[in-house]
Amino acid sequence: MSTATPENSPTIVLVGHGMVGQRFLEALAERGLTATHRVVVLCEEPRPAYDRVQLTSYFSGKTPEDLSMTDMAFIEEHGIELRVGDPAESVDREAKKVTARSGLVVDYDILVLATGSYPFVPPVPNKDATGCFVYRTIEDLLAIEEYARTRATTGAVVGGGLLGLEAAGALKGLGLNAHIVEFAPRLMPVQVDEGGGAALLRTIEEMGLSVHTGVGTQEIVVGEDGAVTGMKLSDGSELATDMVVFSAGVRPRDQLARDCGLAVGERGGISVDEQCRTVTDPHVFAIGECALAVDGRVYGLVAPGYEQAQTAAATIAADEAAFTGADLSTKLKLLGVDVASFGDAHGTAEDCLDVVYSDSRSGLYKKLVIGRDGTLLGGILVGDAEAYGTLRALTGSVPPIAPEALVLPAGAGAPAQLGPSALPDEAVICSCHNVTKGAIRGAVTEHKCTTVPEVKKCTKAGTGCGSCVKVLGQLVDAELEASGIEVDKGLCGCFAQTREELYEIVLALRVTSYQELLDRHGREAARGGDGCEICKPTVGSIIASLAPTIGADGYVLEGEQAALQDTNDHFLANLQKNGSYSVVPRIPGGEIAPEKLIVIGEIARDFGLYTKITGGQRIDMFGARVEQLPSIWARLVDAGFESGHAYGKSLRTVKSCVGQTWCRYGVQDSVRMAIDLELRYRGLRSPHKLKSAVSGCARECAEAQSKDFGVIATSNGWNLYVGGNGGATPRHADLLAQDLSDAELIRLIDRFLMFYIRTADRLERTSTWLERIPGGLDHVRDVVVHDSLGICDELESLMAAHVSHYRDEWAETINDPEKLARFVSFVNAPDTPDPVVAFVPERDQMKPDLPLLSIGLRPAETLEDVLEGSAQR
């Protein structure tokens, strides 16, 4: 129900409806101005405000609707007149009128310009040729996606800044060979220094992107049809490419202001005062990327824009407010790599010192800028930005612990890490909405918030970029505990117990079904119910891990267990983005006979599958329809293969080098050990996936120190490392024990894995668990090596039960007609192939037909459901 605005109310016209424009509307509503003013919004884009910060997530499956920041119920409730696709074309300041493209003329009392910025395209020949794009809006992304699908195999991005790297990642994700061309000598020159740029460069090149720094674009080369065929660079070289995406920075969109006589800066931007009023006209405000602030800067980050929106709304409401500048700290994830900078990141202050930790092999670079008096002035984090929230909040103060403790990774000899509870109340936790630690504490103590969602609603903290949510949760828990309020650490709304406590209950009481556990030990309100998406797969995993010991059926699709699984486990294969599945047979140690290679090739050929060798030394076959899976498995099983569990929270692979058998440096038979370990722990269900590797010497070719448990050969036996992982937040594994015999090694791994499964939280990798568990590595060593808790016999017994009861899930399925019945695309048309799953040829194989990706097919829909949905689309 809309709020009626009194007749003859003053009118506020907002030109532009991006993230900052939407925040301005919310600020008006918070001050009651939408009830006393008519509010008209003229929006150029064909859709309301959306999250431009997360724009690239469109290519990872998010839809434009997912990115929307506009609640139309809010627009209606506050009587806001929102006109999308109808931008302002002229302003008559003397008559105080705005004319829109549609011809609509709106009289205003207050005019707010939030026109944002436009992409800068270098003035090079043929910059407007077919195949040239910018990377700014959802419409830009749709056009890039279509061109990449139909006309391009290689793409080049001009610009190695924030959006440039995201654009390059998007092109790679679309299946193109991607290049980045950056005029500066390093990537992200504004945010990171030379060391950070080097770490970022190494990581990005390892992802398969080609980077060209220190060169500019001289000309876009076109063919006879006028389409892009290449680029000429300033060093005289030429780059062959079918597509060019310009992401070389932005410029303020101030033409509307120029046309109506408002003052603009020498390099662009509408000049405003501390209240965000234009210096030319007190009835006109400018906020966001189009505004030139009093400090002579145009801010291109969302947090300063939000602060400007708040300032303008407060000024209109006759409240005191001022915007004199903003913190340029930022934390991003680019191509899966954490990158953050804060404060005086480049050390421009006089007489400052640097504290640097650099590990180029892992792509880690951390630098803190410290004043002579110990004050933290700023810093740069590449590869691991876990400490960003704490470090940023400490900027401008003397940290209570040594600077090196703030940058050294866990397990590298650093003293105890500093938690957010040590921060002062004035420390800013959420930079997007300028929310301090004191405000968060107040939300708990004064406003009686008891959960993170309640605190987010009360303070807006965590509702911007989201980088502060983890710190926010830690502060809420700490404040509740300090107030004497018991913090609910239960797994979910169904169970008050943690995952570790539920494990102990299942083990001690021999609980063999989820429903029995819920009815006997769940919260009162949940008993007799169906559970939730958190506890069902968690309990399913616990029961599967303990199945041989408690007398349960360990097969994940048996009876009730089937209903507890997520999509991948439900079909014993990995669901891909176009609705097809991948099939990954187990290849222990990466060792495979020629006959088995031939079988895999024949299956891929006969079923038309895309094949790829994975980083775990296996062969992945993509593109199988759900009804084809049993037939593929049957041929693999006949050839001696079994499930590789690529779909499960279980052991994936044990990677291996060739070891002493072939390598002149090898000192142990790493292939044999890798095979023994993989066959021993195959199918072991755990809180998260498990990866392992065995290296035959200290040269570490199998990368064992980046695995959950890794083994490195020595002249005296084996060294065992635990708690490592690659991925977005890499961590080196810690040495647990050294110079072990074969039997000692296997015994310690048995104990380590079962202790992890027993005590870890839901979806917690061994690396995170090792850092969280009280006592860390020392405690784990005491338990699994020295048996300090007296449970090692039990841990070994549990593993022995798993090993002796292992069954291949693919073989179990194809030999049971009842289980086979679930593998259909449509429950009412089991013989009908899925019309949504389509492919196009590429590089002598096939790839998904990308325009179908947004359809979002769910397995086992009826055929009528899909056809009706497709017709509507």
- From 609, 535, 536, 621, select the one nearest 570 (Cα to Cα): 536
Radius of gyration of the chain from its Cα atoms, rounded to whole angstroms: 30
For every residue of 10-42, which 3-state class applies, written as one string?
CEEEEECCCHHHHHHHHHHHHCCHHHHCEEEEE
**Class of residue 424 by CB neighbours under 10 A (exposed 0-12, middle 13-18, buried 19+):** exposed
Sheet arrangement for strand 709-714: 651-656, 690-695, 709-714, 717-722, 734-740
DSSP labels, 159-179: --SHHHHHHHHHHHHTT-EEE
82-138 pLDDT, tens per residue? 999 999 999 999 999 999 999 999 999 999 999 999 999 999 999 999 999 999 999
| C-alpha to C-alpha distance for 303 and 435, rounded to whole angstroms | 11
Task: Please list the ranges in the chain whose pLDDT falls under 70.
Answer: 1-7, 60, 333-336, 361-362, 409-420, 464-467, 563, 566-567, 577, 728-729, 826-836, 850-873
DSSP structure class, residue 564: T
Helix 742-759 and helix 499-509, axial crossing angle in degrees, nearest 10: 110
Give yes or no for a contact between 618 and 596, defined as CB atoms under 8 angstroms apart: no
651-807 CATH fold = Sulfite Reductase Hemoprotein; domain 1 (3.30.413)
| C-alpha to C-alpha distance for 664 and 659, rounded to whole angstroms | 8
Take residue 679 and report the two structure tokens written for it: 């066959």
| C-alpha to C-alpha distance for 811 and 808, rounded to whole angstroms | 5
CATH topology match: 11-118+252-316 vs 132-248: yes
A 10 A CB-CB count for 212 gives 19
Beta strands, E only, 723-864: 734-740, 839-842, 845-848
- From 518, 626, 526, 534, select the one nearest 581 (Cα to Cα): 626
| C-alpha to C-alpha distance for 511 and 550, rounded to whole angstroms | 7
H or E element that contains 357: strand 352-359
> For position 161, what pLDDT does the model report?
83
11-118+252-316 CATH fold = FAD/NAD(P)-binding domain (3.50.50)
468 is in an annotated binding site: no
691-739 pLDDT, tens per residue? 999 999 988 999 999 999 999 999 899 999 999 988 766 788 999 999 9
Average pLDDT value for the chain: 86
| C-alpha to C-alpha distance for 648 and 763, rounded to whole angstroms | 12
A 10 A CB-CB count for 264 gives 19
492 is in an annotated binding site: no
Point out which residues pair with 97 in neighbouring strands. Answer: 92, 107
458 is in an annotated binding site: no
> For position 873, what pLDDT does the model report?
36
DSSP structure class, residue 293: -
- From 735, 771, 712, select the one nearest 409 (Cα to Cα): 771
> For position 164, what pLDDT does the model report?
87
663 is in an annotated binding site: yes
| C-alpha to C-alpha distance for 388 and 333, rounded to whole angstroms | 12
| C-alpha to C-alpha distance for 868 and 636, rounded to whole angstroms | 36
Q: Is the dihedral of CA 794, 796, 797, 798 positive or negative?
A: positive
Residue extents of the structural domains in the chain: 11-118+252-316, 132-248, 327-418, 499-565, 651-807, 820-872
**Residue at token pair 């300063």:** 304
Give yes or no for a contact between 80 and 25, defined as CB atoms under 8 angstroms apart: yes
| C-alpha to C-alpha distance for 252 and 273, rounded to whole angstroms | 17
Helix 499-509 and helix 514-521, axial crossing angle in degrees, nearest 10: 110
The CA dihedral of 142, 146, 149, 152, to the nearest 10 degrees, is -100
Phi and psi, residue 564, nearest 5°: -90, -10
| C-alpha to C-alpha distance for 641 and 655, rounded to whole angstroms | 17
Take residue 335 and report the two structure tokens written for it: 């191509």
Take residue 817 and report the two structure tokens written for it: 């007609």
| C-alpha to C-alpha distance for 234 and 124, rounded to whole angstroms | 11
> For position 415, what pLDDT does the model report?
44
Beta strands, E only, 372-487: 376-382, 428-430, 435-436
797-830 pLDDT, tens per residue? 999 999 999 999 999 899 888 888 878 776 555 6
> For position 281, what pLDDT does the model report?
96
> For position 336, what pLDDT does the model report?
65
CATH class of 132-248: alpha beta
A 10 A CB-CB count for 206 gives 9
Give yes or no for a contact between 432 and 466, defined as CB atoms under 8 angstroms apart: no
327-418 CATH fold = Enolase-like; domain 1 (3.30.390)
